[in-house]
Chains A and B, each alone.
Chain A
C-alpha cells in the first residue's frame, strides 16, 4: 500500500483556471505538508497542517489554500492559476511535529500551466 498518495500525477491546465490536487496518507500521521519543487529543482515548504493548525510559509500566494476534510487528507486548491505555478508539488506527512521524526513523501504532481 502506498503510504502517501497524490492525485493526479500530471495536471495540465490553462491560466486562470482553478484546480485541486488531492493527498491522502494511510499512516495515521498527525502532520501533513505541501512542498513545491520548481524548474530549478529547489524544494520549498508551502504549508504544514497539524491537528487543525495551519502554518503557511509567508512566501506562498493566497491563491493557494490547503483543505483538510479529515486527518488523513490534505488537499491543495489553487485559484487563478499562473504560468509561474508550473512545478511539481509534493505532499508529505510525519507522525507529528518534531525534529526527530521522519517524513514520508508522495510521488508528486506535475502541474503545467499553459
Chain B
C-alpha cells in the first residue's frame, strides 16, 4: 500500500470545524482512501472512505483532490469526544495476494480538542 503523510498533531476548539489533511502523492488508480480514528484505550474505528469523489456520512466528510494526491477529512463540528488519533490509509483494491492484506497504519494525526 502506498504511503501517506499527515501532521503529527492538530488542535482545535470545541464546536468548530476541523480539517485534517493527508498527502498521498504516490497513490495508484486502485487505491481507496480510508480514514480511521482511535480513541484512547479503544480499537480503531472506521470514519469514512472514498475513491475519487467527495464523500459525506454522519461522522465526517472526505474531500479528495482532483489529482487524488491529497485528501482532507472534515469534522463539521468537533466535540470533545472527537479527540483521537486519526489515520489516513490507502488500501489497494487490486490486491494481488502478496503480503498480508489489511490496513497499513502510519503515525496518524493526534487531534486535540479544546473546550
User: Could you say which interface size class chain A belongs to?
Assistant: 20 to 34
Main secondary structure of the interface of B (DSSP, over half): loop
User: Could you say which interface size class chain B belongs to?
Assistant: 20 to 34
- Residues in A with CB closer than 8 Å to B94 are 99
Among B10-18, B61-69, B96-104, the one that faces the other chain is: B96-104
Residue contact B102 to A103, C-beta cutoff 8 Å: yes
- Residues in B with CB closer than 8 Å to A50 are 101
Which of A33, A58, A102 contacts B99, CB < 8 Å? A58
Which of B36, B45, B91, B97 contacts A99, CB < 8 Å? B91
Residue contact A97 to B43, C-beta cutoff 8 Å: no
- Residues in B with CB closer than 8 Å to A57 are 99-100
- Residues in A with CB closer than 8 Å to B101 are 31, 33, 45, 48, 50, 55, 97
Question: Is A56 interfacial (CB-CB < 8 Å)?
Answer: yes
- Residues in A with CB closer than 8 Å to B85 are 41
* A83, chain B: closest CB distance, angstroms: 22
Number of A-B pairs, beta carbon distance below 8 Å: 77
Residue contact A100 to B105, C-beta cutoff 8 Å: no
Main secondary structure of the interface of A (DSSP, over half): strand
- Residues in B with CB closer than 8 Å to A42 are 105, 107
* B35, chain A: closest CB distance, angstroms: 10
B: residues with CB less than 8 A from A are 30-32, 34, 36, 38, 41-46, 49, 51, 85, 87, 91-95, 97, 99-105, 107
Q: Please name 18 pairs of A and B residues whose Cβ atoms are closer than 8 Å in the assembled complex, sorted by A.
A: A33-B102, A42-B105, A45-B103, A45-B104, A46-B100, A48-B100, A55-B100, A56-B100, A90-B43, A92-B43, A92-B103, A98-B93, A100-B93, A102-B46, A103-B46, A104-B46, A106-B43, A108-B43
Q: A46-B100, A102-B49, A104-B46 are in contact. List 4 more A-B contacts (CB 8 A).
A: A43-B103, A45-B100, A102-B34, A105-B44
